């Protein structure tokens, strides 16, 4: 059937300062994105994108966000994202990691990406304690993987 096709943009928020948690909210980011689009593409951009634009997911601990936009105009969003310089008074920028056709594909990417990050972190560890802790968390997220029959591999698309 006919449906709206979307693109999901997976971004990382990179803050200038290094607080552990930045109290940002989805709507803060949403308004920021809209502002940026208005600045970069004017009323046309806002009008064309307002329909499907939303922030689907925001993790304040890992600073990961999913942004949804209509597929036809999602490039306008991509091009506007670099103009975001701050969110809720914290200055930051958005680092686009992945553009996917469904939330599922973004989730998949994020999973893979997270593992990579943990591996890098492990290599960078200096003290033995740190190393152990990182190993523990790596084990944590892979143990569950073993318990469950990994569907995404099973289904194999």
Partner 1 sequence: MAAPTKKRARVEMESETKSNPGQYISEKAKESEKRGHKRKRAQDSFIKMKPNEQEDDWLSLAPRCINVADFAEARATEINTMMKAMNNISGGRRIFQKLPRHMRRRAMSHNVKRLPRRLRARAEAEVQKHKRANKQDSGAAKRSRRHRRRPKNLFAEYERRKRKHIWLETHIWHAKRFHMSEKWGYKIPHHPNEKSVRASYRALAKHCLIQDISYYGVIEVTGPQGYLLKSLAHLTNTDSGLTFASLSYLGGKRHGTTMLYQYDKYPYSAISVVNFLWKCLSCECDDRVAIKEETNTDAADKFSSTESRQLWMWVHPSSYETVLNEIVKMFHAKPVMEKMKKKRTQIDKGSDGVEDTGDESSLDFTKTDRQFKNSCVHIRTLKFDLLRFRLQGPLSHSVLLDVLQSAEVKCSDIEECEKMKWWESYYEDTQNAAVHDRQKEVWKNLKNIRTSSELSPGCVLSLTVKDPRLLLPQKKTKVMTAVENTTEPLANERIDLCRRFPDGISQSPIWEKKARKKASVEKFSIDELNKKRAEHLIPGTVLQLGREESRIPILLLHNPGKLEDVKEQMSCQEMQNSLGFGGGWDIVIPSGWGMAFWIALIYRGARAGGEREAQSASAQQGLPYFPYDFPDTLAYNETSNLRKNELESKYSRYPPDKRTNYAKFGVVAPFCSPWEQLVVEWNDTSVSISAKEQTSSIDVDASEMVLNELKVDDMAVTDSVPRDAVYVLRSRSRLRHLAKSCHRYKNMGKDCITSSLSSVLKGDSHALVCVSLRMVHRGVPALFGMVCLADSDDLQQLYRDKNYGGPLETLHKDPSLILKKLDKKCKKRKTKLDTEVKAALVAEINASNSLVSSVKNSCNRQIIGYVCKGSHTFSTGTGCALAYCTIPGLIKMLGDKPASCHAVVLVRNIKSLQYRFAYLSVLTKCW
- Tokens standing for residue 2: 């006919």
CB of 82 to partner 1, least distance (A): 12
The 3-state DSSP class for residue 137 equals helix
Say how many CA atoms lie within 13 Å of 110 toward its Cβ.
22
With respect to partner 1, which residue has the nearer C-beta, 73 or 106? 106
Q: Are 2 and 94 in contact (CB under 8 A)?
A: no
With respect to partner 1, which residue has the nearer C-beta, 50 or 59? 59
- Tokens standing for residue 3: 């449906």
With respect to partner 1, which residue has the nearer C-beta, 48 or 118? 118
Report the C-alpha gap between 88 and 56 in whole angstroms.
18
Report the C-alpha gap between 121 and 101 in whole angstroms.
29
CB of 10 to partner 1, least distance (A): 11
Q: Are 130 and 53 in contact (CB under 8 A)?
A: no
Of residues 83-142, those binding partner 1 (CB under 8 A):
85-86, 88-91, 95, 104, 107-108, 110-111, 114-115, 117-118, 120-121, 124-127, 130, 133-134, 137-138, 140-141
> Does 38 interact with partner 1 (rule: CB under 8 A)?
no
Report the C-alpha gap between 70 and 75 in whole angstroms.
9
Residues binding partner 1 (CB under 8 A): 12, 14, 16-21, 23, 28, 59-62, 64, 85-86, 88-91, 95, 104, 107-108, 110-111, 114-115, 117-118, 120-121, 124-127, 130, 133-134, 137-138, 140-141, 144-145, 148-152, 154-157
């Amino acid at each position: 059937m006919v449906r709206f096709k979307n693109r999901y943009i997976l971004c990382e928020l990179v803050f200038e300062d290094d607080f552990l948690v930045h109290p940002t909210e989805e709507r803060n980011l949403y308004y920021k994105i809209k502002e940026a689009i208005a600045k970069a593409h004017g009323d046309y951009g806002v009008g064309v994108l307002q329909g499907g634009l939303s922030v689907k997911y925001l993790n304040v601990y890992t600073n990961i966000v999913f942004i949804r936009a209509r597929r036809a105009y999602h490039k306008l969003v991509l091009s506007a994202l670099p103009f975001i310089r701050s969110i809720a008074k914290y200055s930051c920028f958005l680092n686009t990691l992945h553009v996917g056709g469904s939330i599922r594909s973004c989730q998949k990417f994020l999973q893979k990406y997270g593992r990579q990050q943990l591996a890098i972190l492990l290599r960078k560890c200096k003290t033995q304690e740190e190393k152990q802790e990182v190993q523990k968390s790596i084990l944590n997220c892979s143990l569950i993987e073993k318990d469950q029959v990994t569907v995404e591999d099973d289904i194999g698309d």
